[in-house]
Amino acid sequence: MVTSSASRCQAQGTGSVAADGALRYKRVCTADRLPHVRRPQAAQDTQESMRSRALMIGLALFVGALAPWSGASAVPAEATRPAEPHDLLKSIRTVLLTGEATTWLDAAEPPYDVGVTLKMKLQRVGFRVVFDPNEPHDAEVVVRYRETPGREYQRLEHGTNITCDLGFQHATLGTLRAYHMEAATPWPLPGGSLYWEAVRGLEENPYYYYFGELLHGWVMAQDDSSVVFSRMLRQPPLVDAAESGDGSQATGHVVANRGARLHAIQELGRLKDPRAVETLWMLVDGVHLHERMAAVEAIGALQDRASLDRLSRMQHDTQDAELHRALTNAILLIQQGR
């Protein structure tokens, strides 16, 4: 979400300068957004061209959304706690969203509104979200969102690196879930805006895209990420919903959904959870070529020997060169036991 209005937050106490030079305040937020941290004057040492580019970022949003999927996000390891009392977890209905967002750009706040985005993700699965710590709440999502200068591109322009840490905390149980995510402007040729390409990398990270579903699954049934990703991948891609309806689905949402699904498939392979095999085969038998290839590769990464005969038959029958290559690689991975 692009916004130029200042966050309506009340500062308390005095500011402090962190090790990275970012000015930070303790704030109580009275609006539905996270406090932001403005870059101090001492840090404004980039070229004047960066100032003009910052003003144009909003205009580049649509261009960035249309660019092809780049797979730029870094998928995190998921930090979890042992099983918690179900009754206490299931009582979580209202979530406090708190934390901070910082940017290196010469702007009052990050152009990307991470607070509102996370609020929508949590509301989508049924949580009530508050931003005021004085309001009653059952648990807390702590956000640490940071934008820093990335690599230098042509005309002395810099990309953006994004680090996003999300913690799900309970007053009695402590930290229940913790996620660390990174994204950056693709190198060497971004498909669109240097800034929004980095944001898209974050939005396509499955732990970010399905953040609400991950928390809801843990609260209601203590489902881990493998179970949640498998469940979400059984739903049709957004592009299917758009084509079967009135075609009004936003292109940016479809692109993010496609990238997040591909990353979720890859993550199922990395997690090596045999429970995912059934879902992966459902995707292999689907109609979307990129998802079919990703699912084949994930089955290979899982080293599911029970799938060898089926993969071999597909390899013999397929006429698609890319799918044939993916099948060959998966078969070799399983046979070599790597």
More confident of the two residues 179 and 24: 179
Is there a domain that residue 310 lies in?
Answer: no
Range of the domain at 150: 9-230
Phi, psi for residue 206 in degrees, rounded to 5 = -65, -30
More confident of the two residues 330 and 108: 330
Is there a domain that residue 2 lies in?
Answer: no
pTM: 0.75
Q: Taking 70 as the threshold, does the pLDDT of residue 270 lie above it?
A: yes
Is there a domain that residue 72 lies in?
Answer: yes
Listed ranges 27-31, 239-243, 288-292; the one with the highest mean pLDDT: 288-292
Give me the pLDDT at residue 88, please: 86
Rounded distance, CA 131 to CA 87, Å?
Answer: 25
Closest CA to 202 of 228, 188, 184: 184
Contacts of residue 257, defined as CB under 8 A and 6 or more positions apart, other chains included, come to 209, 237, 238, 239
Closest CA to 215 of 142, 125, 135: 125
Is there a domain that residue 277 lies in?
Answer: no
Q: Taking 60 as the threshold, does the pLDDT of residue 89 lie above it?
A: yes
Q: In terms of residues, how long is the chain?
A: 338
Is there a domain that residue 243 lies in?
Answer: no
CA 51 remoteness from chain centre: 28
Q: Taking 80 as the threshold, does the pLDDT of residue 41 lie above it?
A: no
Q: Taking 60 as the threshold, does the pLDDT of residue 316 lie above it?
A: yes
Residue pLDDT, tens place only, 243-262: 555 555 457 889 999 999 99
Burial of residue 115 (CB within 10 Å: 0-12, 13-18, 19+) is buried
On whether the CB atoms of residues 277 and 296 are closer than 8 A, the answer is: no
Is there a domain that residue 150 lies in?
Answer: yes
Average pLDDT, the chain: 79
Is there a domain that residue 324 lies in?
Answer: no
Is there a domain that residue 236 lies in?
Answer: no
Q: Mean pLDDT across the stretch 85-114?
A: 93
Q: How many domains does the chain have?
A: 1
Reported as a pLDDT band with limits 50, 70 and 90, residue 87 is: confident
